């Protein structure tokens, strides 16, 4: 389920204009519509109609730390009042024009948009009655994206080790990541993390296994592999809690393959993302997609292509949440492929509509590739979490665009259609979006 975006809601009016008396009921109706669409609404304590009320509403929204404000124009109103609001609470704003001939709502919003555009303020315009489903959907998409952008500004991401040898693609610009998208990088030596894993008491690892995974999957690894995998989970969890991390990119290939996979699977259910091969950009993409879809996502490589079916099988070593499995009966804890060591979680991915995201780049080149398709049932065609996606536009077009735009090989797959939210997000942070 998608999370509930939070927003401030206010109604602006001019007492002289026709329709001003309807402003209180407009606030109630708009609030009901937004709440019924799954939004967390903070209502303004007063109608905005002069400088003092605009400032009071702005202060209230600032105190409530709303990430965005929806401003419904009951009538034409003086545009400086919007600036009075923003001077107290400088967040992205939605101007909502109502369809009424004599109120001047629409032309008033056009004035607002002019001023906001000239001042470089982030905003969106919507038009329709307070019950209009399209207007409400557009508001939800914009607010979800701007709220995510605000969250990322205070996010910390861990980096365990360094990028994989031979994988220049996953090199990232730490300062540009912070400047453009917001997350701060916290570094951890691989040797220090390995030591922390070895120091987790066995009885605690056994208890974690019994609590989180025992009885939920077939086990094809040794008891020692089980214990080590849960020691990895507990060590990462403690590091995450101690330093307030939202995710961790781990150096795994080749020497630590199978050491972090189970931890990634379990932590995904706790809202924490774990990225493979020390790919920080992809780990941030995982976080973005997790927040927008409200559920764990697949971390994958594109592997098997069927041009006739327009599909690609995506998979990685096996670190997905068990919630993503096609069937609980297919989940197996096994050694990681190639190295035949450690433990990973194997299962085919479940079917359903999916959004795919790829995030790559450095200073001046950051870009996000976005695709959409239908995940369909598949067999265990690869030792990981194979997810077969029939891509909108076909596999050939998708591969051609990915190659032409220089997108990377790590694609995150989230269930549901969040393309509109991703477009709004990219617009909010000033990053190109490539439709694949």
Enter the tokens of residue 148. Answer: 């995510």
For residue 151, the surrounding DSSP H or E stretch is helix 133-152
Round to whole Å and give the CA distance between 429 and 143.
13
HSE-CB for 152 with a 13 A CA cutoff: 27
Rounded to 10°, the helix 419-429/280-293 angle is: 130
Give the position of tokens 């998979």. 315
- β-pairing verdict for 367-376 and 433-435: parallel
Enter the tokens of residue 46. Answer: 């007063």
Mean pLDDT by 10 residues, the chain (436 residues): 88 96 98 97 98 98 97 97 97 97 95 96 97 97 96 96 87 94 96 94 96 94 95 96 97 86 96 95 98 97 97 96 96 93 96 98 95 97 97 97 96 98 96 96
**Residues found in the chain:** 436
Domain 156-435, CATH class in plain words:
alpha beta
Enter the tokens of residue 231. Answer: 């020691």
Residue ranges of the domains in the chain? 6-152, 156-435
**What local confidence, expressed as pLDDT, does residue 253 receive?**
84
Question: Which of 157, 190, 154, 176 has its CA nearest to residue 364?
Answer: 176
CA-CA-CA-CA dihedral for 290, 422, 276, 405, to nearest 10: 170
Round to whole Å and give the CA distance between 418 and 292.
7
DSSP 431: -
**What local confidence, expressed as pLDDT, does residue 339 receive?**
86
First-last CA distance in the chain: 25
Round to whole Å and give the CA distance between 50 and 35.
27
CA 50 to chain centre: 38
Round to whole Å and give the CA distance between 104 and 85.
20
Round to whole Å and give the CA distance between 147 and 38.
14
Residues ≥6 apart with Cβ < 8 Å to 345: 217, 261, 262, 265, 318, 319, 320, 322, 331, 332, 333, 385
DSSP 252: -
**Burial class (CB within 10 angstroms; exposed 0-12, middle 13-18, buried 19+) of 240:** buried
Strand partners, 352: 375
**What local confidence, expressed as pLDDT, does residue 270 receive?**
95
**What local confidence, expressed as pLDDT, does residue 175 receive?**
95
Question: Which of 211, 303, 299 has its CA nearest to residue 260?
Answer: 299
Question: Which of 58, 48, 124 has its CA nearest to residue 85?
Answer: 58
Q: pTM of the full predicted structure? A: 0.94
DSSP codes of every residue in 17-29 = STTGGGHHHHHHH
Give the position of tokens 């709004």. 424
Enter the tokens of residue 165. Answer: 């040898």
For 53, phi and psi rounded to 5 degrees?
A: -70, -35
**Burial class (CB within 10 angstroms; exposed 0-12, middle 13-18, buried 19+) of 121:** middle
- The fold adopted by the segment(s) 6-152 is Rossmann fold (3.40.50)
């Amino acid at each position: 389920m998608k999370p509930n975006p939070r927003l401030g809601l206010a109604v602006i009016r001019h007492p002289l204009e026709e329709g001003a008396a309807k402003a209180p009921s407009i606030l109630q109706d708009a609030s009901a519509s937004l709440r019924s669409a799954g939004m967390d609404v903070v209502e303004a304590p007063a109608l905005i109609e002069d400088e003092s009320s605009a400032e009071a509403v702005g202060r209230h929204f600032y105190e409530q730390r709303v990430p965005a404000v929806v401003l419904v124009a009951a009538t034409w109103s003086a545009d400086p009042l919007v600036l009075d609001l923003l001077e107290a609470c400088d967040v992205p704003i939605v101007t909502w024009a109502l369809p009424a001939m004599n109120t001047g709502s629409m032309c008033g919003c056009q004035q607002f948009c002019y001023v906001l555009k000239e001042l470089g303020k982030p905003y969106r315009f919507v038009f329709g009655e307070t019950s209009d489903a399209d207007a409400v959907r557009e508001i939800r998409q914009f607010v979800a994206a701007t709220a995510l952008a605000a969250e990322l500004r205070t996010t910390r991401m861990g980096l365990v080790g360094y990028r994989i040898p031979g994988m220049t693609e996953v090199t990232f610009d730490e300062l540009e990541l912070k400047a453009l998208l917001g997350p701060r990088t916290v570094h951890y030596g691989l040797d220090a993390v390995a030591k922390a894993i070895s120091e987790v008491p066995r009885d605690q690892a056994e208890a974690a296994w019994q609590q989180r995974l025992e009885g939920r999957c077939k086990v094809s690894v040794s008891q020692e592999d089980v214990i080590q995998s849960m020691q990895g989970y507990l060590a990462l969890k403690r590091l995450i809690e101690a330093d307030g991390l939202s995710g961790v990119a781990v150096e795994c290939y080749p020497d630590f393959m199978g050491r972090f996979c189970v931890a990634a699977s379990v932590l995904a259910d706790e809202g924490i993302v774990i990225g493979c091969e020390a790919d920080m950009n992809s780990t941030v993409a995982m976080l973005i997609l997790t927040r927008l879809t409200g559920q764990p996502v697949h971390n994958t490589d594109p592997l098997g292509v069927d041009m006739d079916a327009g599909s690609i099988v995506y998979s990685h070593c096996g670190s997905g949440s068990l919630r993503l499995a096609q069937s609980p009966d297919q989940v197996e804890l096994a050694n990681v492929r190639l190295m035949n060591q450690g433990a990973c979680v194997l299962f085919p991915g479940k079917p359903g509509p999916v959004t795919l995201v790829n995030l790559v780049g450095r200073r001046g080149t950051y870009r996000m590739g976005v695709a959409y398709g239908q995940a369909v049932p598949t067999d265990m065609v690869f030792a990981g979490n194979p997810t077969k996606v029939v891509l909108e536009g076909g596999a050939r077009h998708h591969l051609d665009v990915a190659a032409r735009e220089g997108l990377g090989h790590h694609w995150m797959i989230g269930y549901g259609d969040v393309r509109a939210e991703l477009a709004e997000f990219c617009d909010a942070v000033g990053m190109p979006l490539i439709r694949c």
